Amino acid sequence: MIERLAFLWPEIALFITTCVVMVVGLSRSTGVRRLSALITAVGLAAALVLAVATTPKAGQFAPADGQTLFPDLPVFAKTLFAAVGLLLLPLLVGTVDRDDEREIAAGRRAFDPLRSNRAEFYAFYLFSLTGLMLCASASDLVWLFLALELTSLPTYVMVAISSRRHRAQEAAVKYFFLGALGAACFLMGFAFIYGGTGTTRLNVIADVFAASGINPIALAGLVLAVVGLAFKIAAVPMHFYTPDVYQGASPSVAGMLAFVPKAAGFVSLILVLGTVGWTHGPGGESGHSLPESLRVILWVMAALTMTVGNVLALLQSSVRRVLAYSSVAHSGYMLVALVAGPGDGSAASNGLAAVLFYLLAYGVMNLGAFAVLASLVRRNPKDGSADEIDSFDDLRGLCATRPFHGWTLVVCALSLLGFPPLLGFFAKVPLFTSGIAAGEYTLVVILGLNSAIAAFYYLRLVQMPLLEKPDPTTPVPEPVGVPSRTAAGLLSAAGAVVLIAVAGSLFDQAHRASRDPRTVAPARDAAGEPPAAPPIAARPE
């Protein structure tokens, strides 16, 4: 029991940081209050180091202490979450209390802890990341459920406090109620799985499924769980909230929402579907796939999610709604790889690795797009009020007027599109290869078509800042006064370029993390080292 703590050091670091931030952020002294972002960063960095250094790898723990379906998943996923979390932090800086702090600094108002949201904002962000990491180390359905709720509950509040507008509150309430629906759905699913198998431990569930097949109750549970988790990843039956929430929340929080719940959803999906395994029935060349009913559901979900997301994104005039629908579409892309499963052991056929790597890439490049929106305001010439930029016209000629922001947007949009030399391309290729390897040719064709549709709106995001002339009649968008957001955008754009260099090794890591030990024929040596991944050339053609 105590040994399970070995998985939890990053979470413990995050939790302690949360406690500190919660108290520090409410200090009467402005200087101390300012520290909360820094403390958050330190905690995240500590979590990153701990995730790499302390998380047990395959063979280093007993099956009672962690799940053995994907024994190397925790270390990869936690490192990924901590890294992206660290990258998201500068984007989130200054979301709450900026106006209040300005008034307090000017001496117009005294500090009132009841009105201040800074402590809660960072604390909830850390709570959310803690839940995200707990998802990755879940070995039990109850644990998984609690972790998912810990991930999503703080985000509801973060949406509500991210902006003083009523729209934010409306978005939060909408998000909360639909989130509760989703949670009820997958909790019901987990309960059914428990009813069908008599256990909540993922390993044991997998053994039961392997030994005695999937009975109808458990299958109903799996379906419910998948549908409920679709809310977290904004996939089709549960995607309705996405545009409203992304538009209602401040762009920085929307940037976070595009990554954190999605990552939690996909990791949970991998774990839940991992209990079934992709070892049922014919599935193209690898000879295996999910049980037919689950495969069909996921197949339809993937196809619809991609198509709905992309087609609706075409019709939007608000950039944030475009990004929201594109986030739906990206979930659809990842679902294709999820249908394909871990493949035959080769890296190219490993769809789960493709999902994990795509999460990383998406987290990095999507952040830049939101960072640009979050770091610029359009000042109304009449009354001097600042308004967030949200329409395509606001981006006109941005590369000329605000080169940092403009180029960030161009690079990120191209990367999101999957433009060849950028990170998005390298992330998208494995989706295709794994789909083809699993024999899902139709789905891969739909994926290709959708990538083409996506080009329409992504290229508008490139064309507006790069090719259009700035409109001389409207004022140039001004920086919002939080330089760290610009920095976050630049980092993201740089990441979309630089990470190409290490994309191969990163993908190998993802491949190692997501190998299903049952399909890979575990031939471990005495030291417990996993066998090296078979070279791609050895893939059976």
User: Site residues (CB under 8 A) for another protein?
Assistant: 1-2, 19, 22-23, 26-27, 112-114, 119
d(CA 153, CA 123): 12
Closest to another protein by CB, 160 or 353: 160
Single-letter code of the amino acid located at 452: A
Select 4 or 57, whichever has its Cβ closest to another protein.
Answer: 4
Pairing between strand 376-379 and 478-479? antiparallel
Rounded to a whole number of angstroms, the minimum distance from the CB of residue 15 to another protein is: 8
Helix (H, G, I), strand (E, B) or coil at 453: helix
Question: CA–CA distance from 161 to each of 22, 148, 252, 535 (Å)?
Answer: 15, 21, 12, 49
**Beta carbon of residue 100, minimum distance to another protein (angstroms, whole number):** 15
Residue placing its CB nearer to another protein in the complex, 147 or 306: 147
Q: Give residue 527's Cα distance to chain centre.
A: 34
Tell me the C-alpha to C-alpha distance, in Å, between residue 318 and each of 131, 394, 449, 462. Answer: 31, 10, 23, 15
Residue 119 CB, nearest distance to another protein (Å)? 8
* Shortest distance, position 28 Cβ to another protein, whole Å: 9
Nearest residue (CB) to another protein, 5 versus 311: 5
Place of tokens 């993922």: 202
Contact 481, 406 (CB under 8 A): no
Looking at the Cβ atoms of 75 and 123, the one nearer to another protein is 123
Alpha helices in 73-165 (DSSP H): 73-92, 98-105, 118-136, 141-161
Q: Which is nearer to another protein, 26 or 42 (CB)?
A: 26
CB of 249 to another protein, least distance (A): 23
Q: Minimal distance in Å, beta carbon 120 to another protein?
A: 9
Q: Which CB, 32 or 296, lies closer to another protein? A: 32
Cβ at position 22, least distance to another protein in Å: 5
Closest CA to 204 of 295, 294, 274, 293: 274
Angle between helices 292-314 and 216-233 (to 10 degrees): 20
For residue 127, the minimal CB distance to another protein (Å) is 12
User: From the centroid of its chain, how far is CA 9?
Assistant: 22
CB 230 within 8 A of CB 328: no
Rounded to the nearest 10 degrees, what angle do helices 118-136 and 141-161 cross at? 150
Taking the least distance from each CB to another protein, the nearer of 36 and 79 is 36
DSSP letter for 384, please: -
